[in-house]
Amino acid sequence: MAGPAILPSRGLQALVDALLARGYRVLGPQVRDGAVVLADLTDIDALPLGVGDEQAPGHYRLREGGAERAFGFAATAQSPKSVLFPPDELLWRGRRTDDGFSVEPASPADDPDHRPVAILGARGCDVAAIAVQDRVLLGREHVDAHYAARRAGAFLVAVTCSDPAGTCFCASVGTGPRPRAGSDLVLTELADPHRYLVEAGTPAGQALLGALDTTPATPDDLAAADELVADATARMGRTMRTDDLPELLNASAESPRWAAIAERCLACTNCTAVCPTCFCTGVQDVGDLTGALDERHRVWDSCFSQPYSYIHGGAVRTWTASRYRQWLTHKLATWTEQFGTSGCVGCGRCITWCPAGIDLTAEVATIRELAEAHDAVAAGAPGGAPTDGGAPTPGGLR
Amino acid sequence: MTAPLLDRTGTAAAARDHAHRDAASDPMLPRPFRVISRHLDTRDTVTLGLEPLDGVPLAFAAGQFTMLLAFGVGEVPISISGDPTGPGPLLHTIRDVGSVTHALVGAVPGTVMGVRGPYGTGWEVRSGRGGDVVVVAGGIGLAPLRPALLELAHERAAYGRVVLLYGARSPEDVLFAEDLARWAARHRITVEVTVDYGPPDWTGRVGLVTDLVPRAGFDPGHALALVCGPEVMMRAVATALVARGVAPERVRLSMERNMQCGVGLCGHCQLRELFLCLDGPVLGYDRLGPLMDIREL
Ligand SMILES: Cc1cc2nc3c(=O)[nH]c(=O)nc-3n(C[C@H](O)[C@H](O)[C@H](O)COP(=O)(O)OP(=O)(O)OC[C@H]3O[C@@H](n4cnc5c(N)ncnc54)[C@H](O)[C@@H]3O)c2cc1C
Ligand code: SF4
Ligand code: SF4
């Protein structure tokens, strides 16, 4: 495989054109309604040139960014999940017949306008999240046929993050700011002069790169990219310790912290909607008035909703505390047992888009402190929290 | 915590592989089956016999379930209640508790339904050979256990004592009365029925099925226990069985959770690390007990 190359500033248009010419629907970051989101892209002048973002718990705002940068913001507000695993997917169409009904499978590929997508500007967290969804939806006993159809032809052009947000912690979980394996091409935007370092991650990426007008990258180009990565890593807004998480959270099922979080959590389901790895869905039937037609849809669902756990007689998780516990424990602990990978890629979206500003990195740290204090008391260690009052007791959910 | 689960080998896995091949690549596509028989078991419960329109019978293991679709109404998980050892229509015994089950229960012969599956783990009845088997059912929970009882009756000589403890709401709600009589008379199965409410002319037992466990005739050291019913009942029964000396891993429960897909993709049925549609619904109490002890897990 040929080495890293330099694509001149305007060469990015040639990259987009090459993707369009190969039949891709190209999606790239653009400003819509005050946020950077993925949208159809044909002209690189539509990229958010000079736009940056400011993110904090429950807070998102665009600001002026580096004048020359087309990618001077953190991850897009909504992740590529909304493209590869859309909120509403038609599974099949049924029709009542004289002697029963017939079912016609539906596939995204049936749409005459369907084209494989090329996603320009996916971040390290996004690329890692797609790998997680591949594992969950394609790598197990049963395969999600609709995700498979959308994912099969997708082309990923990832971009190294130069300007992480205050809610980002990809460096802690090892998914960024330089995108790891999984993308077809990785771009790193360099300044003075404005240019892109391009690296191919797959044969398809290599083939596309070969068709572009590039020059080989020099050691100076590579050093500039390394410096950008080091600088971005240092400016990462948050950190999360991960080595003890499955053990810690499984042992903290009765932590008093869940009830405390539930006092703030609105169970609004925002966090699960923006999370690039959350995959829970429900089915919905859409019929016509005569009952002759029935469409079955797969729609995003959330463990924060009460009906999610409904069985005859009532929901299993009636308290917000048990639903938050389910979400966090699944994401950071049982995910690892189920899929061999954490469910969190450190994108920070759930922190930014939580109306209550609940921050999972802070919650994990608090749960850890409480568990340690509890252990200290149990061990009778000097300096631990006193046994009467103050000390966390099991049964926090009761 | 990633110990291999019961279902990875044996009949359930084999049956599931079969379903796999048939369902082509999309597990969400239902296969059409026609209702060929409808038997009213009790005032609110019906057993439907189904036949595949494509003629390919559905092999299953006792304890497995399917996703049953009432066209235009919805789809729900229902256990298979028929005989796993022989041919015959696919049987489901359904209690009318809500919109989808109401439509299923009301289906007349000729109606076409969608079937996906079979899914999930089975009772693995044969692992009880050579010892005693105690089957404990509460309410509609007898339906998923019926295939296990048929399997036991079929190979009766391979087992020691076989005891069925069954609790129903009232005498009117007793399911499969003919089966119960036959199992007792012809297959040396000790059948003990108890009801929550008995009318004055009821001469049988009144009380909780849990209370039958301490005195039931089986050797706890060499017993396999299969339990299905409401979760509170299963917990109480499992506790009583373990108190009598049955090893927790020899106590198997069939768990109920919301299931939208049946194939581990929708996420709803999770109990900590378990996907109850794939890793369950039947699991050992050694695995389930600690999880059931945590409220609203
Ligand atoms: C593995 C398994 C095996 C089962 N076997 C049987 C059986 O053999 N016979 C029988 O009568 N019942 C069985 N049930 C229970 C049956 O699935 C529910 O009674 C049924 O889903 C209720 O749906 P409804 O629309 O009639 O009720 P509603 O109360 O109107 O429910 C609305 C929706 O909630 C969901 N839901 C409600 N209750 C349950 C539930 N218990 N499990 C899963 N989803 C639920 C469904 O999506 C349902 O459509 C089984 C459940 C499971 C999980
Ligand atoms: S849990 Fe939060 S930070 Fe982690 S991947 Fe999901 S949205 Fe991003
Ligand atoms: S944690 Fe925040 S975003 Fe998630 S459900 Fe609760 S309030 Fe909504």
Ordered by where they begin, the domains of chain B are 12-119 (2.40.30.10), 125-292 (3.40.50.80)
User: Searching chain B, which residue's CA lies closest to the CA of residue A133?
Assistant: B265
Would the CB atoms of B34 and A91 count as touching at under 8 Å? no
CB atoms under 10 Å from CB of B284, counted, come to: 18
Q: Residues of B with CB below 8 A from A317's CB?
A: 296
Q: Residues of B with CB below 8 A from A99's CB?
A: 110, 112
Interface mutation vs chain B, best among A90, A142, A249, most B CBs within 10 Å: A142
The reported pLDDT for the residue numbered A208 is: 97
Q: How many CA atoms lie within 13 A of B264 on its CB side?
A: 23
What is the Cα–Cα distance from A388 to A42, expressed in whole angstroms?
Answer: 66
Q: What φ, ψ does residue A63 adopt, rounded to 5°?
A: -140, 175
What is the Cα–Cα distance from B297 to B294, expressed in whole angstroms?
Answer: 6
| B26 contact A CB<8A | yes
What is the Cα–Cα distance from A94 to A97, expressed in whole angstroms?
Answer: 9
Q: What φ, ψ does residue A238 adopt, rounded to 5°?
A: -140, 165
Please give the distance, rounded to the nearest whole angstrom, from the Cα atom of residue A60 to the centre of ligand 2.
16
Which ligand sits closest to the CA of A348? 2
Tokens of B280: 């369950």
B67 contacts B76 by C-beta, under 8 angstroms: yes
Please give the distance, rounded to the nearest whole angstrom, from the Cα atom of residue B104 to the centre of ligand 1.
11
B221 CA to centre of own chain: 24
What is the Cα–Cα distance from A313 to A210, expressed in whole angstroms?
Answer: 62
* Total residue length of chain A: 398
The reported pLDDT for the residue numbered A382 is: 57
Please give the distance, rounded to the nearest whole angstrom, from the Cα atom of residue A264 to the centre of ligand 3.
8
Please state at what angle helix B231-244 crosses helix B285-292, rounded to 10 degrees.
Answer: 120
Q: Residues of B with CB below 8 A from A279's CB?
A: 265, 267
Identify which of B100, B96, B145 has the alpha carbon closest to the alpha carbon of residue B281.
B145
Q: Ligand 1 atom closest to Cα of A312?
A: 38
**pTM of the predicted model as reported, rounded to 2 decimal places:** 0.92
ipTM of the complex: 0.91
The reported pLDDT for the residue numbered A395 is: 40
**Positive or negative CA dihedral for B281, B287, B288, B291?**
negative
Pocket of ligand 3 (CB under 6 A): A 265-271, 304, 354-356, 358
Contacts with B95 (C-beta within 8 Å, 6 or more apart), sequence order: B44, B45, B101, B105, B139, B140
Residue whose CA is at the smallest distance from ligand 1 atom 37: A311
A390 contacts A369 by C-beta, under 8 angstroms: no
A343 contacts A133 by C-beta, under 8 angstroms: no
- Which residues, given as ranges, of chain B have pLDDT below 50? 1-23
| B99 contact A CB<8A | no
Which ligand sits closest to the CA of A320? 3
B263 contacts B75 by C-beta, under 8 angstroms: no
CA gyration radius, chain A: 23
Alpha-carbon distance B128 to nearest alpha carbon in chain A (angstroms): 28
B205-206 and B189-195 strand pairing: parallel
The reported pLDDT for the residue numbered A68 is: 82
Domain boundaries, chain A: 5-85+112-234, 245-390
What is the Cα–Cα distance from B30 to B112, expressed in whole angstroms?
Answer: 11
Would the CB atoms of A308 and B26 count as touching at under 8 Å? no
Q: Residues of B with CB below 8 A from A334's CB?
A: 270, 272-273
What does the CA dihedral A325, A326, A327, A329 come to, rounded to 10 degrees? 70
Nearest Cβ partner of B27 from A94, A142, A308? A142
Which ligand sits closest to the CA of A307? 1
Please give the distance, rounded to the nearest whole angstrom, from the Cα atom of residue A359 to the centre of ligand 3.
9
Contacts with B250 (C-beta within 8 Å, 6 or more apart), sequence order: B223, B224, B225, B284
Identify which of A354, A389, A303, A43 has the alpha carbon closest to the alpha carbon of residue B272.
A303
Q: Residues of A with CB below 8 A from B30's CB?
A: 103
Alpha-carbon distance A348 to nearest alpha carbon in chain B (angstroms): 22
- Which residues, given as ranges, of chain A have pLDDT below 70? 1, 381-398
Q: Ligand 2 atom closest to Cα of A275?
A: 7
Residue whose CA is at the smallest distance from ligand 3 atom 1: A265
What is the Cα–Cα distance from A91 to A112, expressed in whole angstroms?
Answer: 17
The one-letter amino acid code at A298 reads: R
Identify which of B58, B65, B105, B98 has the alpha carbon closest to the alpha carbon of residue B81.
B65
Which stretches of B149-236 are assigned E, i.e. beta strand?
Answer: 162-168, 189-195, 205-206, 223-228
Pocket of ligand 2 (CB under 6 A): A 274-277, 331, 344-350, 360
CA dist A278 → A112, A153, A162, A330, B266 (Å): 29, 22, 26, 10, 10
The reported pLDDT for the residue numbered A381 is: 59
Nearest Cβ partner of A253 from B260, B278, B297? B297
Contacts with B119 (C-beta within 8 Å, 6 or more apart), sequence order: B16, B19, B64, B65, B66, B67, B77, B262, B263, B277, B278
A352 contacts A57 by C-beta, under 8 angstroms: yes
* Total residue length of chain B: 297
The reported pLDDT for the residue numbered B285 is: 98
Best residue among A59, A257, A265, A269 to mutate for probing ligand 3's pocket (most ligand atoms within 8 Å of CB) is A265
Helix ranges (H only) for chain B are: 10-22, 99-105, 142-154, 177-186, 231-244, 285-292
**pLDDT by residue (tens digit) across A202-221?**
999 999 999 999 999 999 99
Tokens of A98: 């004289």
Alpha-carbon distance A391 to nearest alpha carbon in chain B (angstroms): 20
What is the Cα–Cα distance from A176 to A173, expressed in whole angstroms?
Answer: 8
The reported pLDDT for the residue numbered A20 is: 98
